[in-house]
Amino acid sequence: MIYNPGMTTSTTTSTNWDRLAEASRRWQTINSITSLLHWDQETKMPSKGIDHRGRQVALLARMAHEEATCTEVGEMIAACEADDDLTGNPDSDTAINVARLRRDYDRGTKLSIELVGERAELATKAQHHWAKARAADDYAQFEPWLDKVIDLNRRMAEAFGWAEGGEPWDALAEDYEAGCTAAWVESVFTPLRERLQTLLDACMGSSTQPSNAFNEVCLPVDKQEAFVRLIADKIGFDFDRGRLDVSTHPFCSGFHPTDVRITTRFHENNLNDAIGSTMHECGHGIYEQGLRTDMAGLPLGTSVSLGIHESQSRMWENQVGRSDTFWRWACEELKSTFGNDVAHLSYDDVYGGANIVRPDFIRVEADEATYNMHIMIRFELERLMLKGELNAADVPEAWNQRYREYLGIDVPDNARGCMQDIHWSMCAMGYFPTYTLGNLYSAQLYEAACDANPDLEDGYAKGEFTALRTWLNDNVHVHGRRYDAATLCEKATGKPLSADPLMRHLGGKLSAIYGL
Amino acid sequence: MIYNPGMTTSTTTSTNWDRLAEASRRWQTINSITSLLHWDQETKMPSKGIDHRGRQVALLARMAHEEATCTEVGEMIAACEADDDLTGNPDSDTAINVARLRRDYDRGTKLSIELVGERAELATKAQHHWAKARAADDYAQFEPWLDKVIDLNRRMAEAFGWAEGGEPWDALAEDYEAGCTAAWVESVFTPLRERLQTLLDACMGSSTQPSNAFNEVCLPVDKQEAFVRLIADKIGFDFDRGRLDVSTHPFCSGFHPTDVRITTRFHENNLNDAIGSTMHECGHGIYEQGLRTDMAGLPLGTSVSLGIHESQSRMWENQVGRSDTFWRWACEELKSTFGNDVAHLSYDDVYGGANIVRPDFIRVEADEATYNMHIMIRFELERLMLKGELNAADVPEAWNQRYREYLGIDVPDNARGCMQDIHWSMCAMGYFPTYTLGNLYSAQLYEAACDANPDLEDGYAKGEFTALRTWLNDNVHVHGRRYDAATLCEKATGKPLSADPLMRHLGGKLSAIYGL
């Protein structure tokens, strides 16, 4: 699908839109530099560079915010809205861009420049102290920073405001998943938890259990890296327009479709983690690389929401990376990469080992069935923090108590407990539920891709993944922010979001593996 | 030496200076981000990210230039100059800072914002095309970009202007070495070339020649990296406040004294290149790390000139890294790092091999005696380009002809000829002579450091380098831009700049090695 934007824009009316587009590209260029600073901080920056990095990031955040919320931008948007040639057809590229810029402008102007600078600086510092505290398993080091983060987020929520009957959490979630409220998330999560619990109990109680042999091998990190680079390349992450590095917490930074950086991590005794992390971040990266270059810096060249973003990462990680046909190909590559170290593993050992279900402490290492429980716990705690009902000092206990209740496990320490994730240290609250929404969108979009391409999964067995990537390019990536998440889902799958595809995906696969 | 700045500033008069300082720190923070973008471009950026990187860099360059040259800054400087409490004592920190800001402001306001943006964007692109053209040894790819660079530099020289009797080159050199003119450089270079030529002829004609065995060993790159990291750490490059990476052309980027990045490069058959490059860039890095943190973003927290910067890099590379006592220590480390691969080498093989004099094509691989000839050739060509007397099309021939005349060698191709250096592709003209000035300053400063610490060189044999670093910290780094290069040289050495120390250094060492 090729767009040819702006063809209908007449020269007499183009000035306001051209100026607005130029302004948007400019502040988004600043934002892309901020992203690079974050990437560098996580992957390359020397430890003592942190304070100056904080100043750099805060300065750019203030500059971008000032540019994006200045009066002139408001005037340009209003002028475009008033110009029928530009926005009379609400489906035109320009009308969509203007409408999304309007939404962002109205939201952005609610935040003072001081709060923006404060958030940028706090995020940099809190993240740094989080990393140190986590490495030392010393929650006391992180606690004061988390309190600052809670306080800042509460003030931000106040500034944004929330709808009648809503709560502070809603105000923040809007940045990550437009239209998402805590009440709605709860209404999705509660029945999902019950269905997942039932499936989990069945798996745990079954007399058929997959072999754990794959997860017991120790494999050299350099070969693991070669292996995940092979997978990344095969599934379509473009290394001429991206990089793969190592960081504590894997992430993806897209500065522009031509420069997308993903990270992963390696542990000698956990190849599955490296594969899962890499394919996950590749999914994010392939989305960013699939955005329209001609719309870079404009809403139509930007991803929809974190939920949709996560649907892309989870799809490559789970629907593809834990599938039978993927491992038909990958198992052969595994043998040729690691040789004797994996010679004793059967196909069933590997495929089963990649799909073991077991409650554990770490979200990013969690299997598909328990993963969403981790999210539900974080969501509950965030809501409380933002209501002022949970302080940093009480987070470890609240965390550990829920892990006992929902997953039946005792958290061994805070490093593997409430300090495992980077998000809160980045000042990001209202973000976590997008992971579970991503799982739901992922399963539903994947079913639609399979319906459209009945041979899709057969290709994986031959190391061919182009059909899925192309379907995602055409049905998700190229639209940018044209549709909101719910509408995009309906356009691409013909149905509103439902938990059924995820439960079908998990139920089908796990029934076979666990002999349910 | 500890400075306690601003202690005498009274609160009633501090406002203008505080505002000016804040403004300066702000535009220098932007510049520090631009430096990070350049570092990333050379070391990490995926190839297709180049166009967006050009936009990012150009935007920041325009922003920094706009901030540094706006009317308000001019007014704040004038207000500080008019305030006797701030600038009445011309030796006070504030007076020095204001005087340097005045000089920069007057120079900066001569350049239009369009020219600044154009330079930034051209530098990014020309550098990218230079790297590709050089890799393919395809001068035709680079030629149009060099023509653009020449044209832009000529327009910049016009904008700056030059003194009566001077020439365009002078206008550009001012950015790198304040007060330096082509006529003065020529008056220094011509006699120096004769003295060096005489020494070179004597070495070449001697019946005593050092062994080349050290330069004939092939050593694995991973061990080379471990070895140069050991040296960098020993001589005092602080890895908590810096990084070492790999790039085609080694360089140093200082964003702040707490984040200084150096690069080096490795060839299996040329450990000397990796050592020389690493110690060279460490010298730059140690200077940047030695600047006053409390003055970061202000002239007193900034390096003096490129000539002084280069004196630091050349000192660690040559005065230290090619010295007898350094190799007394390093030769032992060499044996323990590389084991059998170097077991056949004697101390004389290694020390002699690090000091072989032989005319060759590549500047950054040149020995100390021929190095300055490379600079003289580039200087002559730049002068002609800027006068409009040499186009890009004629550069290869002009280059090769001078290599025959000055060094008696035939340049084999343009990749090893006129495309070997990054500078012109970065739009930097008027820069090269600072390398030879750096050699002269280096030798003279080093003699002064040895006079002040008679045991200095004995320490090297034990792997101790703190005395030299501390002397440089106290006599060069901590002053920032307090003095100009010539004055700093006199303050630190008691004498004006002379070529005698360099000739003493080279003559003494080479006479021993070559039995002259």
Find, in chain B, the residue whose alpha carbon is nearest to that of A54: B29
Q: Which residue of A has its CA nearest to B56?
A: A29
Residue B435 contacts residue B417 (beta carbons within 8 Å): no
pLDDT of residue A14: 55
Q: Which of A26, A242, A258 sits opposite B52 (nearest CB)?
A: A258
A:B CB pairs within 8 Å: 94
Q: Determine, for residues B60 and A33 on separate chains, whether the beta-carbon distance falls below 8 Å.
A: yes
Q: Residues A35-53: pLDDT tens digits?
A: 999 999 999 999 999 999 9
Judge: B46–A256 Cβ closer than 8 Å, yes or no.
no
- When scoring B30, B36, B261 by the number of chain A Cβ atoms within 10 A, the one with the most, hence best to mutate, is B36
Q: For the CA atoms of chain B, what is the radius of gyration?
A: 23
Shortest CA gap B98–chain A (Å): 23
- Residues A338-352 have pLDDT tens digits of 999 999 999 999 999
B53:A259 CB<8 A? yes
Say what the ipTM of the complex is: 0.89
Buried b (16+ CB within 10 A) or exposed e, A205-226: eeeeebbebbbebebeeeebbe
What does the pLDDT average to over A158-176?
96
Contacts of A206 (CB under 8 A, 6+ apart): A514, A515, A516
Nearest CB among A47, A49, A259 relative to B49 is that of A259
Distance from CA of B336 to the nearest CA of A (A): 25
Statement: residue A501 has pLDDT above 90: yes
Average pLDDT of the residues in A438-450: 98
Strands B259-264 and B242-246: parallel
Shortest alpha-carbon distance between residue B60 and chain A (Å): 8
Contact A56 B29 (CB under 8 A): yes
CB–CB contact A256 B40 (8 Å)? no
The average pLDDT across A433-441 equals 96
Chain B residues within an 8 Å CB radius of A233 = none
Q: Which residues partner with B260 through β-bridges?
A: B242, B254
Q: List the single residue in B33, B55, B259 with the smallest CB-CB distance to A46.
A: B259
Angstrom distance (rounded) from CA B159 to CA B157:
5
Domain A182-514 has CATH 3.40.50.300: no
Cβ distance of A49 and B241 shorter than 8 Å: yes
Residue A249 — very low, low, confident or very high, per pLDDT cuts 50/70/90? confident
Q: For the segment A79-89, what is each residue's pLDDT rounded down to a tens digit?
A: 999 999 999 99
pLDDT value at position A7? 34
| Closest C-alpha to B419, from B225, B249, B213, B261 | B249
Cα of A294 to nearest chain B Cα, Å: 12
Q: Do B259 and A56 touch (CB under 8 A)?
A: no
pLDDT in tens, B272-290: 999 999 999 999 999 999 9
pLDDT at res. B121: 87
Which residues of chain A lie closer than 8 angstroms to B32, CB-CB? 52, 56
The pLDDT assigned to B14 comes to 55
Residue A290 is encoded by which pair of tokens?
A: 């699939």
Give the distance from residue B258's alpha carbon to the nearest chain A alpha carbon, in angstroms: 5
C-beta atoms of B240 and A53 within 8 A: no
Q: Specify the pLDDT at position B11.
A: 44
Q: What is the mean pLDDT of residues B481-486?
A: 95
Contact B153, B162 (CB under 8 A): no
| Nearest 10 degrees: Cα torsion A285, A288, A289, A293 | -170
Residue B255 has φ and ψ, to the nearest 5°, of: -90, -25
Answer yes or no: is pLDDT of B2 > 50. no
Across the interface, do A240 and B47 touch by the CB < 8 Å criterion?
Answer: yes
B463 φ/ψ sector (left φ>0, alpha ψ -120 to 50, else beta): left
What is the mean pLDDT of the segment spanning B175-194? 93
Report helix, strand or coil for B242: strand
- Smallest CA–CA distance, residue A410 to chain B, in Å, is 37
pLDDT of amino acid A345: 96
Q: Specify whether the CB–CB gap between A302 and A482 falls below 8 A.
A: no
B243, β-bridge pairs: B261
Local confidence band at A9 (pLDDT 50, 70, 90 cut-offs): very low
Q: How far is A154 from chain B (nearest CA, A)?
A: 29
B chain contacts of residue A242, beta-carbon cutoff 8 Å: 46
- What average pLDDT does the segment A354-378 reach? 94
Please name the member of A40, A260, A296 whose beta carbon is closest to the beta carbon of B36. A40
pLDDT beyond 90 at B1:
no
Q: Contacts of residue A29 in chain B, CB cutoff 8 Å?
A: 52, 55-56, 59
C-beta atoms of A33 and B29 within 8 A: no
Cβ–Cβ below 8 Å for B56 and A243: no
**For residues A101 and A77, is the Cβ–Cβ distance under 8 A?**
yes
| pLDDT mean over A441-452 | 98
Of B55, B243, B296, the CB nearest to A46: B243
| CA-based nearest distance A43→chain B, Å | 11
Give the integer Cα–Cα distance in Å for B50 and B67. 26
Q: Which of A110, A109, A80 is nearest to A96 (CA)?
A: A80
Nearest to B258 among A49, A243, A255 (CB): A49
Residues on chain A touching B46 (C-beta within 8 angstroms): 239-243, 258-260
Kindly report, residue by residue over B221-252, the tens digit of the pLDDT. Answer: 999 999 999 999 999 999 999 999 999 889 99
Q: What is the set of active-site residues of A?
A: 281
Which pLDDT band holds residue B7 (cuts at 50, 70, 90)? very low
Our CA angle for B397, B401, B405, nearest 5°, is 170
Q: Name the residue in chain B with its Cα closest to that of A28.
A: B56
Average pLDDT, chain A: 94
% of residues, chain B, pLDDT over 70: 97
User: Considering only CB atoms, which chain A residues are within 8 Å of B64?
Assistant: none
Task: Tell which CATH architecture fits domain B182-187+205-355+433-514.
Answer: Orthogonal Bundle (1.10)
| Three-class secondary structure of residue B407 per DSSP | helix
pLDDT at B469 over 50: yes
Q: Are A51 and B258 in contact (CB under 8 A)?
A: yes
Nearest to B59 among A29, A40, A240 (CB): A29
Is the Cβ pair A259, B52 closer than 8 Å?
yes
Whether A36 and B37 lie within 8 Å, measured CB to CB? yes
Contact A59 B26 (CB under 8 A): yes
Q: What is the distance in angstroms between the Cα of B304 and the nearest Cα belonging to chain A?
A: 22
Pick the residue of B26, B27, B30, B33 with the most A CBs within 10 A to test the interface with A by mutation: B33
User: How is residue B190 written in tokens?
Assistant: 């011509």
Given pLDDT bands bounded at 50, 70 and 90, which one contains residue B468?
Answer: very high
The full 3-state SS of A30-88, as one line of letters, equals: HHHHHHHHHHHHHHCCCHHHHHHHHHHHHHHHHHHHHHHCCHHHHHHHHHHHHCHHHHC
CB contact under 8 A, A45 and B259: yes
Q: Are A116 and A65 in contact (CB under 8 A)?
A: yes
Answer whether residue A494 shows pLDDT above 90: yes
> Measuring CA to CA, how many Å separate A257 from each of A237, A284, A296, A478, B368?
11, 12, 8, 11, 46
Tokens linked to B228: 């140069």
**Chain B partners within 8 Å of A260 (Cβ):** 46
The CA-atom distances, in angstroms, between B29 and each of A47, A119, B4, B34 are 18, 18, 22, 9
| Residue pLDDT, tens place only, A462-471 | 999 999 999 9
With tokens 């073991």, the residue in question is A356
Number of alpha helices (DSSP H) and beta strands (DSSP E) in chain A? 21, 3
Least confident residue range of A124-138, A195-209, B1-15? B1-15
- Is B402 strand, coil or helix? helix
Structure tokens at B333: 């480390």
Q: Which residues of A touch B240 (CB under 8 A)?
A: 46-48
Which of A20, A16, A30, A25 shows the shortest CA–CA distance to A64? A30
Whether residue B142 has pLDDT greater than 50:
yes
Which residue from B424, B303, B308 is spatially nearest to B363, judged by alpha carbons? B424
Collect all residues of chain A within an 8 Å Cβ-Cβ radius of residue B51. 258
Residues on B contacting A at a C-beta cutoff of 8 Å: 26, 29-30, 32-33, 36-37, 40, 44-53, 55-56, 59-60, 63, 238-243, 255-256, 258-260, 296
CB contact under 8 Å between A53 and B259, yes or no, is: yes
Just list the catalytic residues of B. Answer: 281
Contacts A56 to B, Cβ<8 Å: 29, 32-33, 36, 255
Residues from chain A contacting residue B296 (CB–CB below 8 Å): 52
Tell if the CB–CB gap between A46 and B256 is shorter than 8 Å.
Answer: no
